[in-house]
Structure 1
Amino acid sequence: MGQLELYQLKNGYRYNSDTLFLYDFISANKLRGDILDVGCGCGILGLLVARDNEIKLTGIDIDPLNVQISQHNASVNGIAGEFIAEDFSKFKSDIKFDFIISNPPFCHFGVTKSQNKHIANSRYNDSLSLEQFLAGANRNLKPKGVLYFCYDAKQIGWILALLVKFKLNLTKLRFVHSKRGQNAKLALFEAKKSSKSLCEILPPLIVFDGDNFSLEASEIFKKANTISKVYEC
Structure 2
Amino acid sequence: MHFARQYHNDGFDTLLAELPDGPGGAPGSRLQLAPGTVLQASLSRAARHVELAGGEAYFAVARDIGRPFRVDTRAGRIEVLGTAFNIADRSGALDIAVEHGQVRFTPRGEGLARLPVFAPPAIDLRGGEALSVRDARPEAVRPIPPGQVAAWRDGWLLFDDTPLADALPAINAYRRQPIVLADDRTGALRLTGRFRAQDQRSLVQALPAILPLRVEVLDDGSIRLAAR
- TM-score tier by shorter-chain length is under 0.3
- TM-score, with length taken from structure 1: 0.27
The structure richer in helix per residue is 1
- TM-score, with length taken from structure 2: 0.27
The structure richer in strand per residue is 2
